[in-house]
Amino acid sequence: MPSRITTLTLETNGQVRPNPASIIAPLEDLDFFLSLAQPLPHPMTAWEVWAKANASLPWWSHFILKVRNLVLLPFGTKPFKPAEMDIDYPPKQGTKIGSFTVETISDHKLCLILDDKVRRGMLCITMSADQEDVVLTGSAILHKRYMRWYIVIFGKMIIRIIRSAAARF
């Protein structure tokens, strides 16, 4: 079944109301919001979804993330390093996974926070009660308004990476 993915700019669709516990700030304050709903082939925990998605990143995503890191490092962003995010055991709250910090972890929810000079973001994996469906939400607030180009260029690339990883379930 194909993924259903939505990217929103707040000016075009203020109607969507995600769970406030799954986004970094109220929807009207966000500079970036992404939501992906995906059925799973069998019940999984939120951590299992993260580990499988991270292990399923396509080869070209590593190249895109390297370019992203080189372009944005001078602006004070933390680099994305997929290899540092590839751990095979569930971490505890407060643990670092690459540039993310584990904010919430349970069988049904995994929320990761990223905060640097450019943005504050949250990535959440929320499972349905039967753990056969997953909703991924990504949200961010830019600390520097001149970095809106970052969302326009790299936000679209990140969406492609997420969509590609989700299609491999």
pLDDT digits (tens, 9 = 90+) for 86-104: 677 889 999 988 888 999 9
pLDDT at position 102 is 94
Query: Token pair 């540039």 is at which residue?
Result: 99
Domains present along the chain, CATH in parentheses = 4-166 (3.30.530)
CB atoms within 10 A of CB 100: 23
pLDDT at position 6 is 41
The pTM of this model reads 0.80
8 A C-beta contact, residue 167 and residue 3: yes
Q: Which residues of the chain have pLDDT under 70?
A: 1-18, 82-86, 169
Cα–Cα distances (Å) from 107 to 18, 85, 97, 134, 145, in that order, read 20, 18, 17, 12, 36
List phi, psi (to 5°) of 116.
-145, -165
Enumerate the H helices of the chain as residue ranges.
46-55, 59-72, 148-166
SS3 3: coil
> Among 38, 36, 30, 34, which residue's Cα sits nearest to residue 11?
30
Going by the DSSP 8-state scheme, the letter that residue 42 receives in this structure is S
- Spatial distance between the Cα atoms of 12 and 58, rounded to a whole number of angstroms: 31
Q: SS3 for 140-169, per residue?
A: EEECCHHHHHHHHHHHHHHHHHHHHHHCCC
pLDDT at position 8 is 42
What is the Cβ-side half-sphere exposure of residue 55, based on CA atoms within 13 angstroms? Answer: 9
The residues with which 33 forms a beta bridge, in sequence order, are 8, 139
pLDDT at position 14 is 45
SS3 138: strand
pLDDT tens for 119-147 read 899 999 999 899 888 888 888 888 877 77
